[in-house]
Amino acid sequence: MARAADDPTPGLLLVDKPQGLTSHDVVARARRLLGTRKVGHAGTLDPMATGLLVLGIGKATRLLTYVTGHDKSYEATIRLGQSTITDDAEGEVTTTADASGVTDEAVAAAIAALTGDISQVPSSVSAIKINGERSYARVRAGEDVVLASRPATVSRFDTREVRREGLFLDLDVTVDVSSGTYVRALARDLGAALGVGGHLTALRRTRIGALSVTGVHTLDELFGMADAGEAIPLTPLADAAREILPTFAVTDAEAASLSYGQSLAERGAELGEPSHADDFVHDAVAVNPAGVAVAIMRRVKGKAKPVIVFEPAGQAS
């Protein structure tokens, strides 16, 4: 069956986001680049931040919810001795203190206390909704917003370099965090623990799950490739699904059943034991003998239920 006018080849496009653009800005430019409206993103990056932004094209937008839930890695710079209303460099400075006397040992101890399973209060200018309205919108309207704490996991919080800049102490750090963890809140809490305040001055996302920023193209590079007639480097749907989720081989008959939205009977101990482990999600990608990703399956009451069907019956491309 021929593709509809706006039925793009599905896949993931990894972009190295530049500073100054919102994630929505990147999506808008990708829509122009690819000539389709069917583009979405996983894991918002603030305008100040750079690094890995994962775009879903066409049917691959259905994978984005799985991308968002994976753990993430960042490289960041934290300035101790100054707090801002946004907990990053884009906000108005609220307090300034002399951090020149803070020792390396004190910093290490405070970082250790923020490593592991912690309870974190998100930044008040986050996109979290309060009674249907974004928290940042309430802050901009002049409200004093304090969000409830939530669990977070910081599995790595390493200091790469320490620079003493007059009253301030700048730390270049690498962090690995669970989904939903706010790195700027880590900067804020580190400064608070040391009694001098702190905020984030730079942030770069380097990894989401198994997806890395290494070798990823910028928007300018992608438009240059298009102008030169080169193919845009999309990760095909089946390959993208394999990178994000465990895989599970199905027969042609089972693939046909899944494409009709039908659940599969459990095949003994084999069902639910995909080709590689994944700590985040219990779902798996059903792959037919030809290597095509057919559906995402979930174990429900002893059966494999298709929760997302990539190629419904009668609509194969």
Longest CA–CA separation in the chain, Å = 70
**Among 6, 25, 46, 252, the one annotated catalytic:** 46
Phi, psi of 32 (to 5 degrees): -70, -40
Distance from C-alpha of 181 to C-alpha of 185, rounded to nearest angstrom: 8
Helices 219-227/23-34 angle, 10° precision: 10
Q: Is 46 in the active site?
A: yes
Q: Who contacts 228 (Cβ-Cβ below 8 Å, separation ≥6)?
A: none
Report helix, strand or coil for 241. helix
Whether 280 contacts 244, CB under 8 Å: no
Total Cβ atoms within 10 A of residue 16? 21
Tokens of 184: 């700027």
Catalytically active residues, by annotation: 46
